[in-house]
Structure 1
Amino acid sequence: MDLINWIVGIAMFISLGLGGCKESDPALDDGQSYIPVMVEKSNATRLYMHYMPWFESKDFSGYWGSHWRMANSNPDNIDGQGKRDIAAHYYPLIGPYDSADPDLVEYHLLLMKYAGIDGVLIDWYGTHKTLDYYRNFENTEALVTRLDTIGLSFGVVYEEYTAEAVATRKGITEIEAAQADLTFLEENYFSREQYIKQEENPLLLTFGPRLFRKADDWTEIFSVLESKPDFMPLWGHDYYVGDNGIGEFSWVDFNADMRDLTNFYSTYDGHIIGSACPGFDDYYQEGGWGEGYGYLSHRGGATFSDQLAKAAEFSLGTIQLVTWNDFGEGTMIEPTDEFQYQFLEILQEFSGVSYSKSELDLVCQYYLKRKEYRDNTEVQQLLDEVFTHLNELRPEEASAILEKL
């Protein structure tokens, strides 16, 4: 017996000794719906992570997507430290990845779970097969299909300006393009148990609006739905949606003293979703995608902590975390070479979960083993058990198996 088979045999023995996964493996079809184990938090504030599903990697999709490349980066080029040339000032801890990769989706969602994050707000480009919009849609589907197993909720931040390109290429009106997107949401997302509700109605955000800037446009768009969602535009934009909206959500405050957030939280009289951003350091100018938007220092994690504290000062019930993985803008909260797990550790403390860096690192080890043994069926079966232990909040059992690999 070769070494790897011996290790697998030992690990299987250990996993069976710990109870195995046959009773609890969510992947098993036993005729009953799976009820995910939820993380306990001492802070009731709802934490929703803004998520970009727009990355492609050559090893998974056969090409490097534009968000790793921009206009002049080439991820095929690797430097002396083993890092690929990507369009960002910061480097993912696991390297550049593909949003459709199921291993990647598990890695991201498990990290969020152990940080006390309640759900994701997905940057959504609609359903149409135009430009890269449909690929983003497919990547969103890859994420959504795992949410019920992990136990996180989700909502949509609609990039409604996409209707313009769709209308031009499909010979329909912009309104009709948006109506098709909203009809899909109502028929496929809004009714899901894990879709984020604002009281009884599904929550829908829009990053703008940038295209539909008349209230009557939104009235017409929503007219095809059986019921209107609780709709919220970006801060300073409720004028464009009129009575169709219930409030606004904040975004990046570039001021070190957080004056814009303070003013918004203290004066706006509609429903508010607050925000917390770790910093902003975009790559657009270097990457050939324009002049950029500004800079907000990460201040060694203090910017993120201060913005979370500011939302708590005003007793906001919901905070949007800006963002999980916008590497192009340098707002990423997911682990990086530069910051490691720092921002997730800050969230662990804020949310009041009982976990720490060790569980986050364990999730990363799990992902790396998935990739290291991608062609070994027996090891992948063991890693299925590791996933179940991690997902059901048994990190010690997951660690015991991983240590043998």
Structure 2
Amino acid sequence: MRKLLLFLLVSIALPALAQNGKKVYADFHGVRYTRQHDGKLGRWEMYANTEKSSTGRKSLCYNADLIDSEGRHEIAAVAYPQVGMQSNLDPDYIEYQILSAKAAKIDGFFIEWGFKPHENDILLREMQKVAAKYDFEIGVNWCDGWLYYDWITKIYPEVNTREAKTEYMAKCYQYLVDSVFTGPTAPMVKGMPVFYHFGPGAKVDEYKKVLSQVKFPQGMKQPVALRRWADWGKLENDKYTPVTRSDDMDAWKKVGEIPTAWLPARVRTRDQAHAEWDNYATQDDVIEFMKPFRDSIWHSNNPAYTIKSGFAMPGMDNRGCAGWGRGHFYYIPRNNGETYQSMWKFCMAEKDSLDMMFIASWSDYTEGHEIEPTIENGDRELRTTLKYAAEFKGEQADERGLTLPLMLFRLRKEARFLEKTKMDVSACQRSLDKAALLISQGRYPVAIGLLSQIENDVKTAKSALAVEMMRLRESDMKIQGKRKLGGYSAEETLSISLPKELVSKLQMNNYVGYLYFEYLDKGNESLFIRSSTQREPKEPFKIVSRIRTDNTGEWKSAKVELYKDNIVNGFNMPTFYLKGNVVVRNLSLGYTIYTVK
């Protein structure tokens, strides 16, 4: 086997580099967390009042800690990730996303970023670490509106005026110049750093002041800013008419920003066929929206348009957030992938005029325009991206790489599970590292062979595990709390203690555990489940789950995963504490305990 692998490594040439210098980037939306990795959930959860919506839907209530009968978390999205609910800061997940994007000929991610030290800056830096290993680029979609809200003031109270925020924006731009627009992961098109400027923070005069304070390294060209232009337009005689120019955009062009598309306008109002949304667009509307960019930017001879970018998005369904709490539901149909294909086709008809393509987005599950593989859509959007990105760059499309990052990710998680079960998996992890590099280099046949070998090794290792399954009913646990409505009230803390024999097994061995119960969905309350923890910082990691009620008046089933790394199972103390103005009943615990034979 080793001789065969060596032969393949030597005999298969590296894939050809980009033939024409054109680039493809995707917007990256975050931050999404998990209890296991971070002790919190981020954008995976959402609660919002939507009474302003014309749909009649009064609220959103996505409790991402809860797991349904199919094993899926109740995430704030209409589509579910193919790899399940993961943390954006998990290096394994970052690796999966980067390698999946590379396999589709995407050159980099533009992280939605507002300022330092916002949480998205942590995401940016974690992304850069992994991207550097795989020749991938990490840039920003600069949402400077975040800086001009009160978000920065909550961190730095002295930054509380527009003048102070503009001064701080200059520092943020300098940080981007020093840390993002230079270095091995800098996004570069035609030798120039590039970023997407979402806005809507600084005004033009304020932005001029920001630019005047930034110092560029010797020899560095000023980064090219692609300015979001997504004016609404209007509907006349059932035909969408886009905006072809605006005073605001003309002002931004004068400071060097280049108009670039974002999500197409949704000007059509709710009707019988679109009863779940306040506004929507059709596939034809999407193409009409793009025509002013073709006519006034891509076809222009204006030398100020140094980088001309096309744009594509797969569709939109923001029932995960309803306009981030503004109570507005938007929809653009995916049409089984046809909408995304139509946008690529429109841009490829003008490919000779374009320097790059920008995709929105890789990961905005909440607004429902992600292209990352999902249960519902599979990897359809990645296959479309690969097809047209290869055409755009003048390269060959190789679909063999699209499934390998998922295989790699699952094997990494299997190996980490075996490691926690006290098995030596160091050789397996080294092989997985090699496989990741092979995927990154486009050496797919060799990667497939190596991953298949690792898969067999993992199966062999798992066969050496003894598995014990245990289920505890209420009578098997010590529950202390106030009885109510045939169950227990958690208004005053409700505690659960485990049998000592079980505690001993859980402390000594690896396990997968779940807490099951029913709760009365009444009012708008929060039910916290906590445990003692040894992880730092303790405050987030001691939270096992948080459940928001949505006032349906129904008894709802709950299943919550119990992570060994986070939970201290105590001998002479309760393991779980439930607190909140919520009634629960039918509590039970399920454990699958793994030991080496």
- Normalised by the shorter chain, which TM-score bucket? 0.7 to 0.9
C-alpha spacing 1:339/1:122, structure 2 compared with 1 (3 Å): same
Relative to structure 2, which stretch is displaced further, 56-65 or 84-93? Answer: 56-65
Structure 1 CA distance, aligned partners of 2:439 and 2:15? 12
Give the distance between the partners of 2:408 and 2:312, measured in 1 at CA: 28
* Change beyond 3 A, Cα 1:288–1:127: closer
Within-5 A mapping of 1:234-249 = 234-235=228-229, 238-249=249-260
Q: From the two aligned structures, give the one with the greater strand fraction.
A: 2
CA distance, structure 2, for counterparts of residue 15 and residue 392 of structure 1: 20
Amino acid at match of 1:362: L
Q: Which deviates further from its counterpart, 142-151 or 342-351?
A: 142-151
Unaligned runs of 5+ in 1: 1-13, 24-36
AA of the residue aligned to 2:103: Y
Q: Would the alpha carbon gap of residues 139 and 16 (structure 1) be closer, same or farther in structure 2, given more than 3 Å must change?
A: farther
- Gap change, CA 1:288 and 1:324, over 3 Å in 2: closer
Tell me the distance in 2 between the aligned counterparts of 1:351 and 1:40: 13
Q: Does 1:362 align with 2:389?
A: no
Q: Is the 8 A contact 1:238 1:245 kept in 2?
A: no
Q: Which residue of 1 aligns with 2:153?
A: 168
State yes or no: 1:393 paired with 2:446. no
Aligned ranges for residues 65-144 of structure 1 at < 5 Å?
65=42, 67-71=43-47, 72-128=61-117, 133=118, 135-144=119-128
Shift of 1:17: 5.4
Tell me if structure 2 keeps the 8 A contact 1:212–1:218.
yes
In structure 2, distance between residues paired with 1:49 and 1:99: 15
Aligned counterpart, 2:387:
349
Matched residue, 2:569: none
Q: Following the alignment from structure 1 to structure 2, what is the Cα–Cα distance between the partners of residues 189 and 287?
A: 29
**Alignment-derived partner of residue 54 in structure 2:** none
Match of 1:187 among 178, 182, 200: 178
User: What residue number does 2:169 align with?
Assistant: 178
Question: How far apart are residue 50 of structure 1 and its match?
Answer: 1.1
User: Does 1:61 find its partner at 2:38?
Assistant: yes
Which residue is 1:328 aligned to? 366
Matches of 2:28 and 2:324, distance apart in 1: 23
Q: Which moved more, 1:328-337 or 1:308-317?
A: 308-317
Distance apart, 1:310 and its partner CA: 0.7
Q: Does the aligned pair in 2 maintain the 1:166–1:177 contact within 8 Å?
A: no
- Which whole-Å CA distance do the structure 2 matches of 1:286 and 1:206 have between them? 23
Of structures 1 and 2, the larger Rg is shown by: 2
Tell me if structure 1 keeps the 8 A contact 2:189–2:355. Answer: no
What is the TM-score when the length of structure 1 is the normalising length? Answer: 0.84
- Give the C-alpha shift of residue 45 in structure 1: 4.2
State the Cα distance separating 1:293 from its structure 2 match.
5.2
What per-residue deviation string (whole Å, max 9, x for no partner) do you get for residues 42-74 of structure 1?
786421111124111112112211x10011212
Deviations 1:56-106 (A, max 9, x none): 1112112211x1001121222111111110000000000111111111111
User: What is the TM-score with the length of structure 2 in the denominator?
Assistant: 0.58
Distance 1:168 1:395, change over 3 A: same
The code of the aligned residue for 1:102 comes to P
Unpaired segments ≥5 residues, structure 2: 48-60, 217-221, 232-247, 265-280, 420-424, 456-597
What RMSD in Å do the two structures reach over aligned CA positions?
A: 2.6
Using the alignment, how far apart are the partners of 1:15 and 1:52 within structure 2?
41
What is the letter of the counterpart of residue 233 of structure 1? R
Counterpart position of 1:306: 342
Conserved 8 A contact 1:284-1:292? no
- Counterpart position of 1:26: none
Partner of residue 210, structure 1: 200
Give the residue type in structure 2 aligned to 1:103: D
Q: Which amino acid aligns with 1:394?
A: R
Please tell me whether the aligned partners of residues 93 and 340 of structure 1 are also in contact (alpha carbons under 8 angstroms).
yes
Between the aligned partners of 1:359 and 1:89, the Cα distance in structure 2 is: 27
Q: Cα offset for 1:199?
A: 4.0
Contact 2:189-2:356 within 8 A present in 1 as well: no
Counterpart residue type for residue 226 of structure 2: M
- Matched position secondary structure for 2:403: helix
Distance change >3 Å, CA 286–CA 153, structure 1 → 2: closer
Question: What residue is the counterpart of 1:319 in the other structure?
Answer: 357
Report what 2:294 is aligned to.
265
- Displacement of 1:123 in angstroms is 1.2
Tell me the number of residue pairs that the alignment of Structure 1 and Structure 2 aligns. Answer: 371
Given the superposition, is the C-alpha separation of residues 166 and 286 from structure 1 closer, same or farther in structure 2, using an over 3 Å criterion? Answer: closer
Q: Which has the higher contact order (CA 8 A, sep 6+)?
A: 1
Amino acid aligned to 1:320? F
Give the Å deviation of 1:158: 0.7
CA positional deviation for 1:317: 2.4
8 A Cα contact 2:27 2:359, kept in partner: yes
